[in-house]
Amino acid sequence: MGHLPGCSPAEVTTGDIGHLIKTSCFSFPAPGVLGNLGRNLFHMPAFRDLDFSVFKNQNLRGEKLKMQFRAEMFNILNNTNLTAQTFTNTFTGTGA
């Protein structure tokens, strides 16, 4: 892929995951030619999730019986993540 000059792909911020990348700013390079895109050009919305767990293993009657006490908490900070982390964006290569 190649970046078209004078076009900013970061201008689109509609909140819809299918419109996070402005595909009209990119075109396919000619066959046999490498594109000029750098690494990490696209950034997705942040995904925040904090999980916490505590385990305690206890031996009962020597080594024959074992018991595990477990406490787990998911999404402790109660952050809302409204978009998925993976999506498929269609790209025609015509700049449309």
Tell me the per-residue pLDDT of 43-53, one tens digit each, with 9 for 90 and over.
Answer: 666 778 899 99
**44 neighbors 89 (Cβ within 8 angstroms):** no
**CA distances (Å), origin 36, targets 16, 30, 39:** 27, 12, 10
Average pLDDT over residues 48-70: 91
Give CA–CA dist 22/3, Å, rounded. 11
Rounded to the nearest angstrom, the gap between the alpha carbon of residue 67 and the centroid of all alpha carbons in its chain is 38
Structure tokens, 87? 């999506």
Does 94 score more than 70 pLDDT?
no
